[in-house]
Structure formats: structure tokens, C-alpha cells
């Protein structure tokens, strides 16, 4: 599996494996099977967060990190893997926010759960408007200087807030966010709609990534199977003529190349400018096998153009 640079110190595989449900809705046995297959397929980039894990309706957090820590200890394969986790959202016993104290304390908790002495990529999971960007950036810098974190990223930020954070880090001589993980797929949400607290990527964010060199990671790239499964529907934010036109283009290209719509969405991301790293997940190996075939799928210049331009007249 090919890799892509993440900041100055990391190389992550072009498919990042999301582990949100590992250790709670996905059993330990099945989680291990998926993790083992991912690594055997050449994957190196694992994504989790301190809040991932529920018991009933209560978000207790820590379950995904605990499962990953156990797997890393059992497999003794920590070297060569890029482990990413996040801080910012609330879970039982922890309030939401990115204060200096919270960033540092939650890092120590994540390190313990993951059974490692360093987090390769540590994300600000949300944009905490109550805490100055400089305070959060300084806390991340302290973690980098202490050797507990290698690179930092952001998730669910607007482009202008990322630009402001980058200016602060450059002015202070601190490490900037090397990547942004955002809700992103082939379909575009209607203007004026949101997924709050999630933030969807838009043209401004993509332009920011292209100009700054920050990598863009896409979560929910396949919309929980809605592109291919009749029992799954698209969120209402995607309803409208723009999506109708883009779905028509997607199915046309899928038929031309003999691939599934899911594979075309992922291939489109990988061939985007700048390239997008899809965050893939699933509860079965078949889902991953289908997804990974997208790395060998070549879309022509004309097909990429068709996909990019579809629906533009409807949104003009």
C-alpha cells in the first residue's frame, strides 16, 4: 500500500483504518481480524479517539483505545505503525474543550490506554472557541517537546480557523497542524446545511490544504454504505439536484471502469488534487477488500473531470 507524508516525521498509508467501534459494537475477535488483515495488506495508519466507546447511551470513551492497546501488545508490532488519536469532545468524567490542562491530561490517559509511550498523530478533535488557539497550540508543542507526540492535526475546523492557528504556530516557531480530518465524500451537502458538531470539507478547506501542504483525511467517505446499499439512505443534507447529477456521473464512471460506486469514490479521492486520504472502516473483511481495490483503479482524466464538474450548473 502506498504512503503519504504527514508533517515532517510520518508516512501514513493512503488508506487510514478507522477503529471507532472496535472493542464495543465490533467484538475483540472481529476487531483483531480486521486489524490483522489491514496490516497484512500493507496498511500502517490507525485512527482512534479518546471518546470512542459507549455503554448503552452513555459515552464512556476509551474502549477503542483500550482495544488497540491490547492488540499492539499482543502482536508486538508497534514499530512501523502510525497511531492517531484525538482530544476535545466530552465523555464520562471529561468535559469538552482544548485547554492546556485538558490536552496534556488526556494525552497521558490515551498513552496509557494505547500501551505506548508516544502518539504519532494527535488531533484537536473540535474547534474549542472558548480556549485561545495559542493556548492549545502551546500545549501541543509541550507534548511534542516532551516526546509524547510526534505530529499534530485538527478535525472539524473551518479553513479560516486553521489558517489562524497556522499563523500562530509559525510566528511562535511551533509545530503546525500537519493535517485536517474532516467529513468528506463525493456528494456535496446543500448550502446552508450542517452536520454539527461535525464539519464537512468545502472548497475553501481544500484550497487551504493545497496552499499549506496539510494533508486532508476524509471521514465518512462512503456514507455508511448509502452509495451501494438499498437499505441505507443518504442524509437529507445531500438531497437535491446537485447530488442527483453527481450520482448519475458516479454510476456512469463505475459502469465504464467495471467497479463499484464505493471504489470509484475512493479512487476519486486518491486521484484528487491535493490527494485525499480516505478513512475506511467496517465490520467485515469483505468491506475492506472491496475498498482496497480502489488503489488499483485508474480513472482517466476525462472521468475525473466528469466527476468533478457534475452538478456544478445546478449549484451556480
Q: Where are the domains of the chain?
A: 3-230+262-297
- Mean pLDDT for 105-133 is 98
pLDDT, tens only, 180-235: 999 999 999 999 999 999 999 999 999 999 999 999 999 999 999 999 998 999 99
Distances 29 to 67, 76, 95 between C-alpha atoms, Å: 10, 17, 32
The pLDDT value given to residue 313? 55
Q: Is the peptide bond before 71 cis (omega within 30 degrees of 0)?
A: no
DSSP 51: T
- Per-residue pLDDT at 24 exceeds 60: yes
The candidate with the shortest Cα–Cα distance to 209, out of 253, 273, 268, is 273
- Per-residue pLDDT at 287 exceeds 80: yes
The candidate with the shortest Cα–Cα distance to 265, out of 310, 316, 207, 313, is 310
Q: Is the peptide bond before 197 cis (omega within 30 degrees of 0)?
A: yes
Tell me what percent of the residues of the chain surpass a pLDDT of 70.
Answer: 99
Q: Which fold has domain 3-230+262-297?
A: TIM Barrel (3.20.20)
Amino acid at each position: 500500500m502506498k504512503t503519504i507524508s504527514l508533517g515532517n516525521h510520518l508516512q501514513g498509508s493512503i488508506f487510514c483504518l478507522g477503529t471507532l467501534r472496535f472493542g464495543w459494537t465490533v467484538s475483540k475477535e472481529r476487531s483483531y481480524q480486521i486489524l490483522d488483515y489491514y496490516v497484512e495488506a500493507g496498511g500502517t495508519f490507525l485512527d482512534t479517539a479518546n471518546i470512542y466507546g459507549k455503554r448503552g447511551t452513555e459515552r464512556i470513551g476509551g474502549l477503542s483505545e483500550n482495544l488497540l492497546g491490547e492488540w499492539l501488545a499482543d502482536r508486538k508490532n508497534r514499530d512501523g505503525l502510525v497511531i492517531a488519536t484525538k482530544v476535545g469532545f466530552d465523555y464520562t468524567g471529561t468535559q469538552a474543550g482544548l485547554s492546556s490542562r485538558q490536552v496534556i491530561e488526556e494525552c497521558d490517559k490515551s498513552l496509557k490506554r494505547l500501551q505506548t509511550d508516544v502518539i504519532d498523530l494527535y488531533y484537536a478533535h473540535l474547534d474549542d472557541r472558548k480556549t485561545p488557539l495559542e493556548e492549545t497550540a502551546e500545549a501541543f508543542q509541550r507534548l511534542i517537546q516532551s516526546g509524547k507526540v510526534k505530529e499534530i492535526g485538527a478535525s472539524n475546523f473551518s479553513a479560516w480557523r486553521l489558517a489562524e492557528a497556522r499563523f500562530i504556530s509559525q510566528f511562535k516557531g511551533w509545530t503546525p497542524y500537519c493535517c485536517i480530518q474532516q467529513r468528506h465524500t463525493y456528494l456535496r451537502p446543500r448550502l446552508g446545511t450542517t452536520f454539527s458538531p461535525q464539519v464537512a470539507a468545502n472548497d475553501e478547506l481544500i484550497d487551504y490544504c493545497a496552499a499549506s501542504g496539510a494533508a486532508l483525511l476524509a471521514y465518512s467517505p462512503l456514507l455508511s454504505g448509502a452509495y451501494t446499499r438499498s437499505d441505507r439512505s443518504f442524509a437529507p443534507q445531500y438531497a437535491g439536484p446537485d447530488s442527483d447529477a453527481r450520482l448519475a456521473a458516479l454510476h456512469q464512471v463505475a459502469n465504464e471502469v467495471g467497479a463499484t460506486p464505493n471504489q470509484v469514490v475512493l479512487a476519486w479521492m486518491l486521484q484528487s488534487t491535493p490527494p485525499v486520504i480516505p478513512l475506511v472502516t467496517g465490520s467485515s473483511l469483505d468491506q475492506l477488500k472491496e475498498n482496497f481495490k480502489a488503489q488499483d483503479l485508474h480513472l482517466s482524466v476525462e472521468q475525473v473531470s466528469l466527476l468533478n464538474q457534475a452538478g456544478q450548473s445546478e449549484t451556480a
